[in-house]
Amino acid sequence: MKTGSEVRTRLPVSGIRMGMRLIRLSLALFLAAVLSAGWLMTAPASLSATVRDLPPDIARLYDGGLYRQSEEALDSAIEREPQESSLYFWQGRCFFELRDYNRAISSLERAIALEPGRSDYHYWLGKSYGRKAEDTSRFTPFSAFSLAHKTHREFETAVRLDENNLEAQRDLIRYLMTAPGIAGGSEEEAQQRVHALAAVDSTEASLAQAGLFASRKKFDEADQECRKILDSKPDRIGVYFEIAEYYRDRGDAARMSEATEAGAALAPSDRRLDYYRGIVLVLMNEAREAEKDLSHYLDAVADNDNVPSHSTAHEWLGRLYEDEGRLDRAEQEYHAALNLDPHNKQAHDALKALQHRKH
């Protein structure tokens, strides 16, 4: 296989522009796959065991989605305890939710400087590098590749420091299976990581294997993995939600509903259920109930990285209204989705197709 430098030295002058376009496309596609909110973290939350909890008054702000106010309160707390690494960590998390990735990186790097052995710190720094790379990939692709390498490095460090950090394990596997080779991607290494993960958590390994099969369009094998997981009746609701999202992307309403309701049996009051049930109803053309569920989800659940994004909820409302012929409402929802997440490719493509249809 040719290295990136070999490809560049052989590229004729007339092909440089095309080469840059290919680089941007390759980078954008893999970043979208790695950083997509479509695959939820299914591992039980472990932050309380590794990172000091937020002070209760700040936690209320953070849990309510008031990230700007949370960050300002953390600033004051840092003035009182400038050597407390967890305060910088949570400040970085606030900036991450605010999409201020430069400041998220700065805060997380400060946390790591104070306490370099924290797996969660490195994991969230990797996510922040990845989001910044996604933001810059269109305009400065080589800078974005540098950030992508940093993402890879931080995910690897997080896993090395704590193999039980299942979120880092899964995102590292996603990175390896979607990144181009010049950014460190390797299907072979991704498969090796899946096998290693099986010794730590067999359910997470099966989910990762299903993801690998799906990325190769081996959907029969991915379906078998998902069925195996459902038959094992796991005790974490996030597992069912991840399988529901797999079937969502396949347009399979019946199996998505099966996975969602199996999860609901574990936690019938989980606020994310409205999101999944709403999408099932959109796929089943049950518009009125779908609209109610998705709208309730948007009103009741603060938008953050650990739940299905509000951007995708608006996207699905747009699809619902478009299917009903309510094109102006659909256009409003697609715009709302893109205002929240300019990188939502599905909403972007749907809006473009809708505008073409209207004109």
Q: Please say which residue of 117, 134, 149 terminates a domain.
A: 117
Residue among 117, 59, 121, 55 nearest 88 (CA):
121
Same domain for 211 and 68: no
Does the residue 251 lie in any domain? no
Query: Which pLDDT score, from 0 to 100, does residue 11 have?
Result: 35
Same domain for 168 and 33: yes
Does the residue 309 lie in any domain? no
Task: Dump the DSSP string for 13-55.
Answer: GGGHHHHHHHHHHHHHHHHHHHH-TTS---SPP-HHHHSPPPP
pLDDT-derived band at 89, boundaries 50, 70, 90? very high
Computed over every residue of the chain, the mean pLDDT equals 87
Give the amino acid at 161.
L
Does the residue 349 lie in any domain? no
Same domain for 204 and 162: yes
Does the residue 40 lie in any domain? yes
Query: Which pLDDT score, from 0 to 100, does residue 35 have?
Result: 57
Same domain for 132 and 214: yes
User: The CATH number of the domain where 73 resides is what?
Assistant: 1.25.40.10
- As for how many domains the chain has, the answer is 2
Query: Which pLDDT score, from 0 to 100, does residue 293 have?
Result: 97
Same domain for 213 and 130: yes
Same domain for 223 and 76: no
Under 8 Å between Cβ of 167 and 50: no
* Tens digits of residue pLDDT in 77-86: 999 999 999 9
Residue among 54, 122, 57, 110 nearest 85 (CA):
110
* For range 35-59, the mean pLDDT: 62
Does the residue 166 lie in any domain? yes
- Residue 4 pLDDT more than 60? no
Cα distance between residue 247 and residue 257, in whole Å = 9
> Which residue range(s) make up the domain with 186?
22-46+125-227
User: The CATH number of the domain where 36 resides is what?
Assistant: 1.25.40
- Residue 137 pLDDT more than 50? yes
Does the residue 250 lie in any domain? no
Predicted TM-score (pTM) of this structure: 0.85
Cα distance between residue 18 and residue 332, in whole Å = 35
Query: In the structure encoding, which two tokens stand for residue 245, read together?
Result: 């999202």
Percent of the chain at pLDDT > 90 equals 75
Same domain for 219 and 133: yes
Same domain for 206 and 144: yes
Percent of the chain at pLDDT > 70 equals 85
Under 8 Å between Cβ of 165 and 46: yes
Q: Please say which residue of 170, 194, 227 terminates a domain.
A: 227
Same domain for 220 and 78: no
Same domain for 199 and 94: no
Q: Please say which residue of 207, 227, 247 terminates a domain.
A: 227
Does the residue 268 lie in any domain? no
Same domain for 63 and 36: no
* For range 160-187, the mean pLDDT: 92
Does the residue 184 lie in any domain? yes
Same domain for 196 and 131: yes
Helix (H) or strand (E) holding 243: helix 237-250
* Tens digits of residue pLDDT in 249-276: 999 999 999 999 999 999 999 999 999 9
